């Protein structure tokens, strides 16, 4: 059955790109509500509600940004969206007093830990999911993102290739069922190269970034204190981002996602390609047996990683 949060959860931090302080509260919501953001700092005469949906995404650099028809927006939502999908939250209202979600430690782990500590409430409505029945792909040069049929859960493969020796080529495959997101991906942090930091900050980006909320690489070195949480933390974080961006489909996806050098914009273009082809998917209502394959099914405290 569909779920929501048992009660409200508040997070305080700064935006990764804006550097501005922000307060964000996850509120329970009714069945079939979905996930919406509400800007609490917006004047009462302006529409402050923004749907967390693929068709609300607007072009943005280095993060996922959604906006409504009034132009009210919120950015860097991918980590909290991944946490909601990964813990099995189907309905929530996210109240936020600024234009960017808090970065916290650069991963989804703080969101996941708080959601699991608070717990979920089951609602009296079945879960509906998007079952992929024909392949859909978006490609740009060597980079591509693809959805394939033949999976009873969300499966994912991701490949990255960076010139920095500390990153290099990395690949990982995962079946995102029964807590795998929480155990394997949720604590993997956003990352960048030291050579990119100054350029980003000159362009008004990464103003809230520190060595404590991002993994910074410089050639063969990892500059962030404590080093990596996983040997392949960069590719795991790319999978985390993809999880959050795919959650903007509005329902769980049953199929295989393959990403090669893909990013936020490419995954959103993949969703747009999917919904432009209604013959490529089917909306299915899940019973208890099928729900057991969803990312948030059967979670326990033992699934939480050490950094949560």
Cα 20 → chain centroid: 21
Rounded Cα gap, residues 145 and 143, in angstroms: 7
When pLDDT is cut at 50, 70 and 90, the band that residue 219 belongs to is confident
Q: What is the pLDDT of residue 204?
A: 78
* Cβ–Cβ under 8 Å, residues 215 and 93: no
Percent of the chain with pLDDT over 70: 100
pLDDT digits (tens, 9 = 90+) for 275-295: 999 999 999 999 999 999 999
Q: Is 169 exposed, middle or buried (0-12, 13-18, 19+ CB in 10 A)?
A: exposed
* Cβ–Cβ under 8 Å, residues 64 and 75: yes
Q: What are the residues whose beta carbons fall under 8 Å from the beta carbon of 80, sequence distance 6 or more?
A: 24, 26, 94, 101, 108, 111, 244
* Cβ–Cβ under 8 Å, residues 80 and 279: no
The residue ranking higher by pLDDT, 212 or 155, is 155
Q: What are the residues whose beta carbons fall under 8 Å from the beta carbon of 89, sequence distance 6 or more?
A: 3, 4, 5, 35, 115, 120, 296
Q: What is the pLDDT of residue 202?
A: 77
Q: Which residues are marked as active site? A: 264
pLDDT digits (tens, 9 = 90+) for 128-183: 999 999 999 999 999 999 999 999 999 999 999 988 888 999 999 999 998 999 99
Place of tokens 């995962």: 174
The residue ranking higher by pLDDT, 270 or 203, is 270
State the pTM of this model.
0.96
Q: What is the pLDDT of residue 127?
A: 97
Work out whether the CA dihedral 3, 180, 36, 147 comes out positive or negative: negative
Cα 119 → chain centroid: 20
Q: What is the pLDDT of residue 181?
A: 97
Phi, psi of 202, deg, nearest 5: -65, -25
186: closest CA among 94, 267, 85? 85
Structure tokens at 94: 């996210």
All structural domains of the chain, each given as residue ranges with its CATH number in brackets, are 3-122 (3.30.230.20), 128-303 (3.30.1700.10)
């Amino acid at each position: 059955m569909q779920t929501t949060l048992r009660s409200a959860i508040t997070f305080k931090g700064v935006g990764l790109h804006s550097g501005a302080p922000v307060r964000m509260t996850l509120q329970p919501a009714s069945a079939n509500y979905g996930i919406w953001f509400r800007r609490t700092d917006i004047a009462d005469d302006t529409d402050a509600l923004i749907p967390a949906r693929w068709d609300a995404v607007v072009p943005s650099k280095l993060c996922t940004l959604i906006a409504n028809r009034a132009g009210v927006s919120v950015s860097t939502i991918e980590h909290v969206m991944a946490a909601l999908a990964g813990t099995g939250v189907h309905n929530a209202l996210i109240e936020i007093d600024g234009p960017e979600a808090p970065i916290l430690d650069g991963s989804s782990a703080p969101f996941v830990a708080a959601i699991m500590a608070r717990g979920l409430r089951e609602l009296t409505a079945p879960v509906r999911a998007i079952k992929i029945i024909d392949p859909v792909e978006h490609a740009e040069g060597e980079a591509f993102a693809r959805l394939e049929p033949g999976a009873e859960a969300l499966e994912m493969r991701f490949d990255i290739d960076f010139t920095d020796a500390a990153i290099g080529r990395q690949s990982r495959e995962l079946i995102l069922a029964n807590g795998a997101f929480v155990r394997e991906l949720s604590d993997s942090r956003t990352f960048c190269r030291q050579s990119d930091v100054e350029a980003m900050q000159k362009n008004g980006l990464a103003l809230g970034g520190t060595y404590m909320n991002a993994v910074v690489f410089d050639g063969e070195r990892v500059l962030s204190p404590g080093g990596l949480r996983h040997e392949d933390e960069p590719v795991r974080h790319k999978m985390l981002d993809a999880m959050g961006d795919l959650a903007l489909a509005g329902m769980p996806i049953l199929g295989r996602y393959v990403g090669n050098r893909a990013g936020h914009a490419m995954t959103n273009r993949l969703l747009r390609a999917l919904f432009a082809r209604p013959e490529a998917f089917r909306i299915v209502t899940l019973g208890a047996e099928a729900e057991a394959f969803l990312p948030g099914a059967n979670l326990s405290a033992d699934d939480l990683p050490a950094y949560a």
